[in-house]
Amino acid sequence: MTTMEAIGPRPKRALDPARIMIYSVLIVAALYYLLPLYVMVMTSLKGMPEIRLGNIFAPPVEVTFEPWIKAWDTACTGLYCEGLKVGFWNSVQILIPSVIISIAIASVNGYALSFWRFRGAEVFFTILIFGSFIPYQVMLYPLVIITRELGIFGSLAGVIFIHTIFGMPILTLLFRNYFASLPQELFKAARVDGAGFWGVFLKIMVPMSPPIFVVAIILQVTGIWNDFLFGVIFAGTQNFPMTVQLNNIVNTTQGVKEYNVNMAATILTGGVPLLIYFLSGKYFVRGIAAGAVKG
Amino acid sequence: MANQDRPNPYFRNMNAKVAATPMILTTMIVFVGCSLWTVIYSFSASRALPVNEFVGFAQYDRLFNTSRWNKSVENIAFYGIFSLVFSLVVGFVLAAFMDQKIRFENTFRTIYLYPFALSFIVTGVVWQWILNPTLGLQEAVRNLGWESFTFDLIADRDTVIYALLIAGIWQGTGFVMALMLAGLRAVDDEIWKAARVDGIPKWKTYIFVVIPMMRGVFVTTLVIIASGIVRLYDLVVAMTAGGPGIASEVPAKYVYDFMFARANVGQALAASTVMLTTVLIILIPWIYLEYGKKKG
């Protein structure tokens, strides 16, 4: 070290020890968070002989895409060996109607709660919010009976029904808070012009709310895609979503465990919510923060 | 419609009521109705199917004499306390560091939060692989020359719970960090200026001024993660399937297994009622706090 630093004004906040400490902690934490992603990708690109050498952190010597093809196309998920693609399409079939129906219902709920308060509305809303903290296990068996009576147990309709119910608290909260932040004058002006309940909603509220619909869609797509419990109980064997199939591939295979195929399957399953997360940054944060903002 | 002069109050605001029907049905039938049904039938002698023969606390008696259930409760308590303390402390420290006008803030945040976008199944499967005792982290370190290195948390019944903790904390701390950061950003700049003028060191300002101010954020975060912990299920299924033996069983898995695999509905209902009671113990003081505040 020379005495060069004495010359000129000290660069502001360059690298004092406190800053170095802060950055080192943040970087070490970032490495811990990134490690599983790195391991997933590296393992999925290796052949089994290379994996058996036991260097989980080493990059592949010979890159192969075989595990990805196998995971998608031929890996065994229980009785069938048709790969994860079956689960992928099942998840898509569950996802699209669940997202549309749950958001349609919850947005109307939120709208009614912010502009058309009727007696008892707040009571129902409060029960709805606190109901979302009840462990799902408490309501499972009666819901099995209800869906069975409705004739939708073990079907796509059954699992969509369940997702719509359990998406309702958070989505209603989200929409209620958003609509409540819109100016009341807007609502009154539309009412003076003769618009009714649905008129105000469709012509004024919905066109004003694309951001909150985006937040709701992100919340629901990641939530429903990641669901395991409802899929395994209510969807029926032929409609098992991707998470269930992934678990079957990894945890119930007979014979040799193919870790590279497992990791490829894991990336494929996590890929959808990850993609949404990386593309939607601030909306995702808004969605999860909505859960913490009280009504 | 019958008497136009005096509309029946039940038909006033009719559209809103019709629109809110799904919400009303969900709250009354699912959240209230189904929960009550479960509590009531937890006192029945139900086996494969629910029956109307009520036997008092017999199911609970049996439940708390089952070693698997007691182990489940012990596990979830241990897991809960550790992951609550750890994710709150680490989440807050990370958020406080992120709040020092650092560079690449968005990059760091993206990295800390991405596991939260992944399912517990994906999380469990990845960590099961990393912690694999024969080919995972342990073997990689041994191959570097440290032959006696031992890190087989997942295979040992005494330590498997730590393996679940590593994975669970990895998945959830970013969420806590994001909430804490939002809380920190809501703290008025004037407070920081005042503290600086008074010459109070930064860490003291955090502990004695900022954290007490953020009480609301802490309590809300605590309630959200605590009620998430009670229903911990997927992670265990994907990572350890409750093993080795019953070493990593949890209550939610007990409910599922007795309800669907073992056809012992009575036990499952009693177990889920205990879970419900736990959540109410967490929730009721919180509701009280929230509502007390609104009135005052």
Q: What is the pLDDT of residues B119-163, one digit of tens each?
A: 999 999 999 999 988 888 888 888 888 888 888 888 888 899 999
Mean pLDDT of chain A: 87
- For residues B9 and B85, membership in a common domain is answered with no
Do B35 and B91 lie in one domain? The reply is: no
Nearest to B260 by CA among B268, B251, B249, B272: B268
Per the domain annotation, does A147 fall within a domain?
A: yes
Residue B31 sits in the same domain as residue B107: no
Q: Say yes or no: B273 and B142 in one domain.
A: yes
Number of domain units in chain A: 1
pLDDT tens for A168-196 read 988 998 898 888 888 888 888 888 888 88
Q: Is residue B46 assigned to a domain?
A: no
Mark whether B84 and B156 lie in a shared domain.
yes
Q: Helix or strand or coil: residue A92?
A: helix
- Chains A and B: how many Cβ contacts under 8 Å? 268
Q: Is A9 exposed, middle or buried (0-12, 13-18, 19+ CB in 10 A)?
A: exposed
Least confident of A42-56, A144-158, A247-261, B180-194: A247-261
Q: How many other CB atoms are found less than 10 A from the CB of residue B195?
A: 18
Residue A281 has pLDDT above 80, yes or no: no
At residue B282, the pLDDT reads 85
Rounded average pLDDT per 10-residue block, chain B, 296 residues: 54 79 90 94 90 90 93 94 94 92 89 92 94 86 82 87 94 91 87 88 88 87 87 93 90 93 92 93 82 56
Nearest residue to A264 (alpha-carbon basis) of A9, A77, A10, A75: A75
Do B107 and B16 share a structural domain? Answer: no
In a domain, B273, yes or no: yes
pLDDT for residue A100:
96
The residue ranking higher by pLDDT, A107 or B203, is A107
Together in a domain, B63 and B37 = no
Q: Are residues B185 and B235 in the same domain?
A: yes
In a domain, A136, yes or no: yes
How much is the average pLDDT of A262-276? 93
Q: Is A284 part of a structural domain of the chain?
A: yes
Check residue B19 and give its pLDDT: 85
Output the pLDDT for position B6. Answer: 56
CB-closest option in A54, A251, A262 to B241: A251
- Which residue range is the domain that position B136 belongs to? 59-295
Identity (one letter) of the amino acid at A232? V
Looking at residue B62, what is its pLDDT?
A: 92
pLDDT of residue B233: 93
Residues B122, B33, single domain; the answer is no
Q: State whether B114 and A108 contact (CB < 8 Å).
A: no
B18, B93: one domain: no
The Cα of B152 is separated from the nearest Cα of chain A by a number of Å equal to: 14
Task: Give chain A positions within 8 Å (CB) of B151.
Answer: none
Residues of A in Cβ contact (< 8 Å) with B290:
294
Domain of A174? 85-290
Let me know if residue A241 belongs to a domain: yes
Q: Which residues pair with B54 in a beta bridge?
A: B44
pTM of the model: 0.89
Nearest CA in chain B to A163: B26
Task: For an interface test with B, give the residue of A44, A137, A171 to mutate (most B CBs within 10 A).
Answer: A137
Instruction: Calculate the CA dihedral of residues A139, A142, A148, A153 and round it to 10 degrees.
Output: 20
Could you report the per-residue pLDDT of B42-55, keeping only the tens digit for each? Answer: 999 888 888 888 89
Give how many domains chain B has, as a whole number. Answer: 2
Identify the pLDDT of residue B296: 39
| H helix intervals, B131-197 | 137-143, 160-185, 189-197
| Closest CA of chain B from A6, distance in Å | 26
Residue B241 domain-assigned (yes or no): yes
Q: Please give the pLDDT value at position B292.
A: 64
A168/B23 CB distance under 8 A: yes
The pLDDT-based confidence of A295 (bands split at 50, 70, 90) is: very low
SS3 letters across A30-81: HHHHHHHHHHHHHHHCCCHHHHCCCCCCCCCCCCCCHHHHHHHHCCCECCEC
Whether residue A179 is contained in a domain is answered as yes
The pairs formed by A264-267 with CB atoms below 8 angstroms and a separation of 24 or more are: A264/A44, A264/A67, A264/A68, A264/A70, A264/A71, A264/A72, A265/A71, A265/A75, A265/A84, A266/A40, A266/A44, A266/B122, A266/B125, A266/B126, A267/A40, A267/A41, A267/A44
- Evaluate whether residue A164 is within a structural domain: yes
- Chain A interface mutation, best of B18, B30, B147, B281, highest count of A Cβ atoms under 10 Å: B30
Residues B89 and B202 in one domain: yes
Q: What is the mean pLDDT of residues A67-90?
A: 87
Of B20, B97, B255, the CB nearest to A137: B255
CATH of the domain at A93: 1.10.3720.10
Report the gap between the CA of A278 and the closest CA in chain B (Å).
8
Region A278-293 average pLDDT:
74
| pLDDT on residue B155 | 84
- Domain annotation covers residue A59: no
Query: Which pLDDT does position B247 carry in this prediction?
Result: 92
Reading the block at residue A45, the tokens are: 């690109």
Nearest Cα neighbor of B275 from B4, B55, B11, B76 is B76
The complex scores an ipTM of 0.88
Tell me which range, A16-20, A118-122, A201-205, B232-236, is most confidently predicted by mean pLDDT.
Answer: B232-236
Q: What part of B 78-97 touches A (C-beta under 8 Å)?
A: 90, 93-94, 97
Residue A172 lies in a domain: yes
- Backbone Cα Rg of chain A: 25
Q: What is the pLDDT of residue B8?
A: 63
Residue B255 covered by a domain: yes
Could you give the percent of chain B with pLDDT greater than 70?
94
Mean pLDDT confidence for A105-126: 87
Residues B84 and B35 in one domain: no
